[in-house]
């Protein structure tokens, strides 16, 4: 009994980590497994193994249309939110101005506001301005809530920079533009890339705000929600599995590149 007790004490953290990761990955494993299910229109019960779903991911009606809408909205929202959020992060992180504390507080409001409140408020605003819900109102809404996450992520990266590196560049006769292009921007680039990936994930995944402001347009999360009552088609599981694999590959490549740079 003492040996068993000591073993548990030594491996308690490992056991906890294993249980936690298992709990987190069970839905992902379910999605991957049922992407190979020969379930037809309904995908609630396992009926047999097949590769047909992966060979024809657009087999379910409207699934690829919904996916295309989500990707377009995600890319547009990510581009504008990353550009605007990065500029705001530099302004807050590097400059002192009147209202800086208030601006910091306002940046956190979209993150702290419940999505249902945010979505309803944006819908009311668009209707007041006589703008019908649809593609572009959804893009504008996504830019608004993604921007806060970009600002926080990039600002954290800016705060960790050593200002002596920029001072050294200026001592070597580099002007402000060259210092920013050759020193500051390469150092902040990993934070900007991380913020962009986070923004795209939030935009692609969003349902509540999208449901309020998209009107009759269908995005991938809306397609999943509507299909859930009759069984999510296996093609949706294929797309979900593919997105997970792509995200995993990006993370692994980032870690590998980061380690190689650290070794150099």
Task: Say yes or no: 45 and 83 in one domain.
Answer: no
Looking at the predicted structure, is the pLDDT value of residue 76 above 90?
yes
Task: Say yes or no: 162 and 197 in one domain.
Answer: yes
Task: Say yes or no: 67 and 99 in one domain.
Answer: yes
* Total number of domains in the chain: 2
Q: Residue 1: its pLDDT value, please?
A: 67
Task: Say yes or no: 98 and 2 in one domain.
Answer: no
Q: Residue 37: its pLDDT value, please?
A: 86
Q: Residue 263: its pLDDT value, please?
A: 67
pLDDT band per the 50, 70, 90 thresholds, residue 58 = confident
Task: Say yes or no: 240 and 228 in one domain.
Answer: no
Percent of the chain with pLDDT over 70: 97
Looking at the predicted structure, is the pLDDT value of residue 15 above 80?
yes
Task: Say yes or no: 115 and 43 in one domain.
Answer: no
DSSP string of 44-75?
SS---B-SHHHH-TT-STTHHHHHHHHHHHHH
CA atoms within 13 Å, Cβ hemisphere of 240:
21
Q: Residue 98: its pLDDT value, please?
A: 81
CATH number at residue 147: 1.10.3720.10
Q: How far apart are CA 94 and CA 176, in angstroms?
A: 13
Tokens encoding 85: 């959020």
Q: Model's pTM, two decimal places? A: 0.85
């Amino acid at each position: 009994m003492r040996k068993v007790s000591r073993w548990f004490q030594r491996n308690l953290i490992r056991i906890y980590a294993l249980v936690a990761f298992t709990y987190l990955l069970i839905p992902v494993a379910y999605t991957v497994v049922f992407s190979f299910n020969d379930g037809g229109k309904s995908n609630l019960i396992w009926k047999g193994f097949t590769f047909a779903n992966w060979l024809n991911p657009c087999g379910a009606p409207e699934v690829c249309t919904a996916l295309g809408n989500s990707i377009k909205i995600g890319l547009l929202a990510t581009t504008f939110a990353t550009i605007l959020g990065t500029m705001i992060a530099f302004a807050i992180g590097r400059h002192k101005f009147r209202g800086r504390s208030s601006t910091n507080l306002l940046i956190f409001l979209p993150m702290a506001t419940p999505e249902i409140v945010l979505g309803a408020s944006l819908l009311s605003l668009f209707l007041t301005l006589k703008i019908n819900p649809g593609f572009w109102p959804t893009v504008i809404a996504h830019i608004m809530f993604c921007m806060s996450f970009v600002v926080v992520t990039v600002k954290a990266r800016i705060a960790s920079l050593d200002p002596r590196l920029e001072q050294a560049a200026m001592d070597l006769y580099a002007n402000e533009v060259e210092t920013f292009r050759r020193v500051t921007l390469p150092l902040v680039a990993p934070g900007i890339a991380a913020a962009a990936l986070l923004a795209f994930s939030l935009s692609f995944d969003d349902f509540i705000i999208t449901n309020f402001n998209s009107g009759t347009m269908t995005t991938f999360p809306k397609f999943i929600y509507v299909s859930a009552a009759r069984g999510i088609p296996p093609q949706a599981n294929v797309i979900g599995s593919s997105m997970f694999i792509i995200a995993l590959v990006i993370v692994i490549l980032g870690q590998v590149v980061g380690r190689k740079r650290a070794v150099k």
